Structure 1
Amino acid sequence: MSLSTSEKVALQRVAGVEGVAPSGWVQPGAAPGDGATSPGGPAPRSRGGWGRRGLRDLGLGLVLPVVLLGLWQVLVTAEVLDPSRFSSPAALGAELVAAVESGRLWPNLAISAQRVFLGFGIGALLAVLTGLLVALSRTADRLVSPLLGAVRAVPSLAWVSVLILWFGIGEENKVGLVAIGAFFPVLATLVAGIRQVDRGLLEVAQAYGLSWRQRVTTVLLPSAAPSLLAGARLGLNQAWLFLVAAELLGATSGLGWQLQNAQRNGQIELVLVTIILFAVIGKLTDSVLAAVETTVLARLS
């Protein structure tokens, strides 16, 4: 039976529940007899932290945006690009400062973030519960998967219309749409991850007398953690995309509403500033989840 690192850790946790390690079990990367043959052995050193490599990667990642902004500024200043249609980065910076100082930016940013995180949390939780059911039961898979496949094919804008009719223009339709956007990436990756778990692990867990809940928490989810975390990042990115659709139609606040309102009023600087904010915030939230993913996987390795 060939096990991945996360599966070995899951099996080690199974042994830890009973207080006994399987015969001949050795922690990955440890030599027999060094105290790492049981779950109580010394924990590996954390490999997290920025360090010089992290700062260097951050600097390299900023090179291209800075170059593009500089080129953009030069082209607008030289009037190669029409300044009335392509506002310069300097003008965008002034617009951002004005929006912050006027106090009209923070409320829209806060309400959008609240909708994304609440919708993402609901969608991810439902995806985990559904994924466990579908991955562990062939009957449930045959019953649920065709319907989920059909629902997944519905465009986000179509959902906006339906949710507005059901819930009006309140928060329910926006949070619901974000939850739909986050649900499917998390579900698909979790199901794929669980189905790749070595069934021998479940047999060992059952032999130790673990309940179904214990097998899920000590074997399935730790073994599927890489897939689940990757799906969470995809789900969060999708949540931001669905938020824009929700706030462009039937909203009176939020960054999406701000984007549409600025477009109606011909405020090109505010339109571009809002788009850049979406890009920056989306990247920041993805980076936070990436750091969480790295930390969790390091603990499991």
Structure 2
Amino acid sequence: MQKPVNIAVSNQKRLKLPIDKILPFLIPIILILGWQVSSSLGWLSSSVLPSPMAVLQDGIKLTQSGELPKNLSISLYRATVGLLIGGSVGFILGFINGMSKTCRLLFDSSIQMFRNIPHLALIPLIILWLGINESAKISLVAIGTMFPVYINTFHGISSVDPELIEMGKSYELSKSQLFFKIIFPAALPQILVGIRYALGVMWTTLIVAETISASSGIGYMANNAEDFVDMETVILCIVVYAVLGKISDLVAKSFESLLLDWQNTGRSNV
């Protein structure tokens, strides 16, 4: 009697799988179709909002000319390097303050004070210090991404259940074993949330950095297109940023699924 039930359950899972893949794209597809229909019927003026087909054609033209790939690669470089620097500093500071009460009392108050300063307000100061070259843009991204990683790493480590730590000590684990086997796995979900949030801040910061005193990048393309009232390219740059943000989020979610697989396994066994 159990075999038909298992077959029915497996069939339900097979039916649900395509729906799970389609639903996330349903609203964007409807919006794009509505946008295209409104443009074709003349409800939307091309000077206000070009049609999706016009934006796509502009993207193909800029790709063939090499302008879009060149600026896209530069933006990806700035974003990646800035995230690696800022994320690494944020993780190290969060780790130190989370593990040591003395370091927490010494550093956390000052870090929290600087965290509440809008990092985009530092643009004039960074330009005066570093000029308008690559280091200024990367530094701005690093500052923006550092604090989300720091606050989540610090909170994740400092919020580990004390009973788990005591259990590890009772098994006579060394400090390194205690960290890698108990503290870090328990704090990892919170750390990954910080990285995922930092990815959003990374693109927001880069947009602003590339529209101020820049000569390359997707933000520069948008700013330059605005000067020439090139609405197709402006919309294209916005779409590119949206796609990059979505891809970044999907990568972060994939890492979460991979690194936190033990949590899902534990829940399925309950």
1:152 is aligned to 115
The 3 A distance-change label for structure 1 pair 209 and 170 is: farther
1:126 is aligned to 89
Q: 1:202 aligns with which of 120, 141, 165?
A: 165
Partner Cα separation in structure 2 for residue 206 and residue 124 of structure 1? 30
1:276 is aligned to 239
**Structure of greater relative contact order (alpha carbons < 8 Å, 6+ residues apart):** 1
1:69 equivalent in alignment to 2:32: yes
- DSSP 3-state at the match of 1:223: helix
Partner Cα separation in structure 2 for residue 202 and residue 290 of structure 1? 28
- Displacement of 1:289: 1.1
Q: Normalization by structure 1: what TM-score?
A: 0.78
Deviations 1:36-90 (A, max 9, x none): xxxxxxxxxxxxxxx8755432311111111111111222222222222211111
- DSSP 3-state at the match of 1:86: coil
Partner Cα separation in structure 1 for residue 146 and residue 64 of structure 2? 37
Partner Cα separation in structure 2 for residue 114 and residue 56 of structure 1? 35
The 3 A distance-change label for structure 1 pair 125 and 60 is: same
- DSSP 3-state at the match of 1:224: helix
1:100 is aligned to 63
Partner Cα separation in structure 2 for residue 184 and residue 124 of structure 1? 8
8 Å CA contact retained: 2:203, 2:245: yes
5 Å-filtered alignment, 1:204-219, equals: 204-219=167-182
How many residues align? The count is 251
RMSD: 1.8
Partner Cα separation in structure 2 for residue 158 and residue 99 of structure 1? 33
1:91 equivalent in alignment to 2:54: yes
Partner Cα separation in structure 2 for residue 201 and residue 98 of structure 1? 58
5 Å-filtered alignment, 1:282-301, equals: 282-299=245-262, 301=266
2:208 is aligned to 245
8 Å CA contact retained: 1:240, 1:282: yes
Moved more, 55-64 or 245-254: 55-64
Q: Normalization by structure 2: what TM-score?
A: 0.86
8 Å CA contact retained: 2:127, 2:136: yes
Partner Cα separation in structure 2 for residue 247 and residue 126 of structure 1? 23
1:266 is aligned to 229
Letter in 1 for 2:111: L
Letter in 2 for 1:239: M
Q: Which has the higher helix share?
A: 2
8 Å CA contact retained: 1:164, 1:250: no
Deviations 1:4-43 (A, max 9, x none): xxxxxxxxxxxxxxxxxxxxxxxxxxxxxxxxxxxxxxxx
Letter in 2 for 1:89: P
- Displacement of 1:180: 1.3
- Displacement of 1:209: 4.5
Letter in 2 for 1:278: Y
- DSSP 3-state at the match of 2:260: helix
Deviations 1:99-153 (A, max 9, x none): 1111100011111111111111111111111111212223322322222222122
Deviations 1:248-270 (A, max 9, x none): 11221111111111111111000
2:74 is aligned to 111
- Unaligned runs of at least 5 residues, structure 1: 1-50
Partner Cα separation in structure 1 for residue 17 and residue 201 of structure 2? 26
Deviations 1:213-269 (A, max 9, x none): 333222211111111111111111111111111111122111111111111111100
1:78 equivalent in alignment to 2:78: no
Partner Cα separation in structure 2 for residue 89 and residue 241 of structure 1? 23
- Unaligned runs of at least 5 residues, structure 2: 1-13
- Displacement of 1:206: 3.6
The 3 A distance-change label for structure 1 pair 116 and 70 is: same
- Displacement of 1:276: 0.5
